[in-house]
Amino acid sequence: MHTENEWEARYQAGTTGWDRGQASPGLFYWLDQGMLVPPAQVLIPGCGNGYEVDELARRGFDVVALDIAPTPVNNLRQRLLHQGLKATVEQADLFYWQTDTPFDAVYEQTCLCAIDPTEREAYAEKLYQWLRPGGLLLAQFMQTGQEGGPPFHCALGEMETLFPPARWRWPDQAGPVVDMGEGRQERGYALVRR
């Protein structure tokens, strides 16, 4: 299990190899496909520096972003302020975070692969609870093909078990494939919460 302090230490040391310094091409793929339409309410758990938050806020989405580490939360808040953009950014442990108003969409990028695999079921339950029926989970499943992590490999067969068809409608076609370097890829899937 990785605590707030461990993630914070990574941000302070700058050992943040996942941070591309700009919004992911995966997000632009979903936007170009019309999967997300403003002013939808979008949640980004484990947002990190959250460049996707800027992009969605700029386009008129109602965005809530969470991260357990204070440094990226502060970075993101400052950036939004400087750009005159509005979004809700909270420093919170996603396993304890709740909402009274379920979201239209969750953008899941490099958070599932960051948490310990023993916590995946609890995270999948949170994703289910955070979304309204018919809401969209835009999941980027990390493919490392390796043991250990983070990032932990998200084998697609295991994802089908974690997000079972009784609760989630899987798409006929996969979405974007984003190169993450070091032989890793994120494979995007748009799942509909039943």
Ligand X SMILES: C[S@@+](CC[C@H](N)C(=O)[O-])C[C@H]1O[C@@H](n2cnc3c(N)ncnc32)[C@H](O)[C@@H]1O
CB of 165 to ligand X, least distance (A): 26
Of the candidates 26, 80, 109, 135, which one interacts with ligand X according to CB under 6 A? 109
Report how far apart, in Å, the C-alpha atoms of 32 and of each of 20, 57, 190 are: 20, 16, 14
Q: Using CA atoms, how far apart are residues 140 and 93, in angstroms rounded to an integer? A: 20
Burial code of 132-167, b = ≥16 C-beta within 10 A, e = fewer? eeebbbbbbbbbbeeeebbbbbbeeeebeebbeeee
Residues 80-99 vs ligand X: string with x where CB under 6 A? -------------xxx----
Number of CB atoms found within 10 A of residue 98's CB: 8
Q: Give the CB-nearest residue to ligand X.
A: 48
Q: What's at 30, amino acid-wise? A: W
User: What is the smallest separation between the CB atom of 194 and ligand X, expressed in angstroms?
Assistant: 25
Q: Tell me: does residue 143 bind ligand X (CB under 6 A).
A: no
Q: Does 47 bind ligand X (CB under 6 A)?
A: yes
Collapse the DSSP code of 75 into the 3-class scheme (helix H, G, I; strand E, B; otherwise coil) and give the result.
Answer: helix
Taking CB under 6 A as the criterion, the residue among 36, 68, 139, 154 binding ligand X is 68
Binding mask 13-32 for ligand X (x = CB under 6 A): -----xx-------------
Q: Which positions touch ligand X (CB under 6 A)?
A: 2, 7, 18-19, 46-49, 66-69, 72, 93-95, 109-111, 114-115
